[in-house]
Amino acid sequence: FPSPFPQHLLRLNPRSHSIDLFPAANAALKPARLPAPAPPSSSNSSSSNSPPLVVAAGHLDKSTSTANPSILPTATDDAPARPARPPPTTHPPPRSVTADMAQPGVQSLKCVVTGDGAVGKTCLLISYTTNAFPGEYIPTVFDNYSASVMVDGKPISLGLWDTAGQEDYDRLRPLSYPQTDVFLICFSIVSPPSFDNVKAKVPVADAPCPRDGIADDSPLQWYPEIDHHAPNIPIILVGTKLDLRDDTATLESLRQKRMEPVSYEQALVCAREIKAYKYLECSALTQRNLKSVFDEAIR
């Protein structure tokens, strides 16, 4: 019978009396053995140790490629977990001078400022603590200020208490006196009535604006008031508004009232009479002698 194969690939089989192909031809006719298909696997059950998948063009899968740094890993479950970033190193904040002074062992001092209203007590404190002069007058009820200072090489935590000088607060004002270390009794150098009130406060009956029918049983002088509520506490007498002693307009205004500024000698005599530790004059506007007032109060 006709054969589609060439004669050199055919041979006679004596047992079966048939014509067989040579082994080379049989091998050529056998189908190629394909590899067994891989079992389907889910992304959740895949192992990080499994070999990378072969894709077109011979590249590794992006999720496992480490040979090409330009290929970024994708967000897959097979991607290796990134190492945890170490926590940032923290450093303690720099310590300030104020914080150092607040440490245990720093001396604390309470200073209460008293005197008639509008003599410049609040301006005195604001100028000292902030180096600024307030532009308008607002009557004070009670205000507290604080300052951390160095005096004679020692850190001091200074608490400053501003009080109201108006008679309406005569009963409330002494509430700030307990545990006071030093008092500043202030008067205005260009206000003789405020100077007179250091020793003899004008009685309510003779005051320009009396409180109708209300008796005032509080001490009628600044010094007796302090001596009554806080005896044996050091006192410094302070003359404020030193910059106005030679001011032409101020002198003319006083002259029309038949008054003149309080002299240094007058105030010095008053300081001795009330047993003040010292008498000092200063200006909150120009800050002349301002620091000396509080340095002496601390000492």
Give exposure, 98-127, as e/b (b: 16+ Cβ within 10 Å): eeebeeeeeeebbbbbbbbbbbbbbbbbbb
Q: What is the mean pLDDT of residues 227-237?
A: 92
Q: Is the pLDDT of residue 133 over 80?
A: yes
Q: Is the pLDDT of residue 107 over 70?
A: yes
pLDDT of amino acid 286: 92
Domain count of the fold of the chain = 1
Q: What is the pTM of this model?
A: 0.59
Q: What is the mean pLDDT of residues 250-276?
A: 95
> DSSP secondary-structure letter at 151?
E
d(CA 266, CA 237): 12
What's the token pair of residue 102? Answer: 């607040």
Structural domain includes residue 172: yes
Structural domain includes residue 81: no
d(CA 42, CA 25): 43
What's the token pair of residue 220? Answer: 């009628």
The answer to whether residues 223 and 195 touch, using CB atoms and an 8 Å cutoff, is no
Lowest mean pLDDT: which of 70-84, 137-151, 229-243, 275-289?
70-84
Q: Is the pLDDT of residue 284 over 60?
A: yes
Structural domain includes residue 40: no
Helices marked H in the chain — which ranges?
23-29, 97-101, 121-130, 192-196, 222-229, 248-256, 264-273, 290-298
Q: pLDDT band for position 198 (50/70/90)?
A: very high
**What does pLDDT average to over the chain?**
72
**Structure-token match 């007032």, residue found:** 293
d(CA 167, CA 197): 12
d(CA 108, CA 181): 9
Q: Which residue has the higher pLDDT, 206 or 15?
A: 15
Each residue's pLDDT tens digit, 206-225: 444 433 333 445 456 789 88
Structural domain includes residue 234: yes
Q: Which residue has the higher pLDDT, 140 or 264?
A: 264
pLDDT of amino acid 132: 82
pLDDT of amino acid 22: 53
Structural domain includes residue 57: no
> DSSP secondary-structure letter at 202?
P
**CATH number for position 290:** 3.40.50.300
The answer to whether residues 176 and 142 touch, using CB atoms and an 8 Å cutoff, is yes
Structural domain includes residue 290: yes
What's the token pair of residue 234? Answer: 């050091």
What's the token pair of residue 174? Answer: 């002494």
Structural domain includes residue 51: no
pLDDT of amino acid 9: 53
pLDDT of amino acid 207: 43
Structural domain includes residue 208: no
pLDDT of amino acid 169: 75
pLDDT of amino acid 190: 96
Provide the domain limits for residue 193: 104-202+216-298
The answer to whether residues 216 and 170 touch, using CB atoms and an 8 Å cutoff, is yes
d(CA 213, CA 67): 101
Each residue's pLDDT tens digit, 140-193: 655 787 778 887 788 888 899 988 877 767 788 888 899 999 999 999 999 999
Lowest mean pLDDT: which of 222-231, 244-253, 276-285?
222-231
d(CA 186, CA 226): 13
pLDDT of amino acid 174: 87
Q: How many CB atoms lie within 10 A of CB 79?
A: 13
